[in-house]
Amino acid sequence: MISRNKAKFIKSLQLKKYRKLERAFVVEGAKSAMELINAQYRIIMVVATPQFLLKNEERLATGDFEIIEASEKELSALGSFQTNSDVLAVAETRPNVALPIREDEYTLVLDDIRDPGNMGTIIRIADWYGFRQIIASETSAELYNPKTLQASMGSFTRVNVFYGDLHAFLTPFKAPVYGAFLQGMDVHEAEFAEGGAIVIGNESRGIRPSLEPHIDHRISIPRYGQAESLNAAIAAAVVCDNLMSRRKR
């Protein structure tokens, strides 16, 4: 059974100010929790049902963290999602550090992606297409938001997300920068360099005008129907797919 103090600590991590204060976050669900345990994060504690602990006894025994047994009802009360009935893990957040950029790779740049679901899905897309890193504006949804983590389906453990000033990142950037706009070169016909950056803008406003001077190539996803716009995560997926398919030719 989990103590009142530990339950209070875990519940507090649903709020960003306490995640920042404690430098800790919560991951819920069997898949995401095991991805986290197998990654290079420092785990603080794992709270799980007896069935989950028994099933994963061998893997959990190798970890240097506290293991607490709890009922399904307790887990549902502790987390953000009532559907979590197996396990949750608490881990330390990582320092906000950017990885060195290689000349032969692409980086996703996210300008003011506010929706945590979109943020998490884009992280998952980046992982699918082999991006090592995402550079996000400081106004973008927080990596450790429970909805971001849930939508990433564990991909946050493999994709580095750095938050910072996009102007400061793009100003010295030497490789080509491609931006997704409503008007631009058809993404199906665009020629992509060996490495560079792909900028995806805000869900409703797109890329900020102040960032446009940094964009070398405007690209656009052609519309064949009547929808006014595409979800930011879907747009990111379409661009990444065309980028990778054209680089392979």
Distances (CA, A) of 209 to 43, 113, 164, 202: 41, 15, 18, 12
What is the arrangement of strands in the sheet containing 217-220, beginning at the earlier edge strand?
160-163, 133-136, 106-110, 196-200, 177-186, 217-220
In the numeric block, the tokens 């971001």 are attached to: 148
Q: Which pLDDT does position 240 carry in this prediction?
A: 97
Q: Which pLDDT does position 211 carry in this prediction?
A: 97
Cα separation, 4 vs 1, in Å, equals 9
The superfamily in CATH containing domain 4-92 is Ribosomal protein L30/S12 (3.30.1330.30)
Cα separation, 141 vs 145, in Å, equals 7
Q: Which pLDDT does position 88 carry in this prediction?
A: 94
Q: Which pLDDT does position 249 carry in this prediction?
A: 59
Q: Which pLDDT does position 156 carry in this prediction?
A: 97
Q: Give the pLDDT band of residue 85 (cuts 50, 70, 90).
A: confident
**Residue 247: pLDDT over 90:** no
Residue 4 φ/ψ, nearest 5 degrees: -65, -40
Between CA 242 and CA 17, with CA 132 as vertex, the angle to 5 degrees is 115
Mean pLDDT of 146-172: 96
> Please, which residues bridge with residue 45 across strands?
66, 90
Between CA 83 and CA 9, with CA 44 as vertex, the angle to 5 degrees is 65
The superfamily in CATH containing domain 106-247 is SPOUT methyltransferase, trefoil knot domain (3.40.1280.10)
Using one digit for the tens of pLDDT, what is the confidence trace for 29-77? 988 999 999 998 999 999 999 999 999 998 898 888 999 999 988 888 8
Model pTM?
A: 0.94
Describe the crossing of helices 116-128 and 232-247 by its angle, rounded to 10 degrees: 10
Q: Which pLDDT does position 1 carry in this prediction?
A: 78
Q: Where in the chain is the domain with CATH 3.40.1280.10?
A: 106-247
**Which one, of 86, 74, 93, lies nearest residue 11 by Cα?**
74
**Residue 228: pLDDT over 80:** yes
Using one digit for the tens of pLDDT, what is the confidence trace for 163-194? 999 999 999 999 999 999 999 999 999 999 99
245 token code pair: 């398919």
DSSP state of 130: T
Q: Give the pLDDT band of residue 112 (cuts 50, 70, 90).
A: very high
Q: Where in the chain is the domain with CATH 3.30.1330.30?
A: 4-92
Q: Give the pLDDT band of residue 83 (cuts 50, 70, 90).
A: low
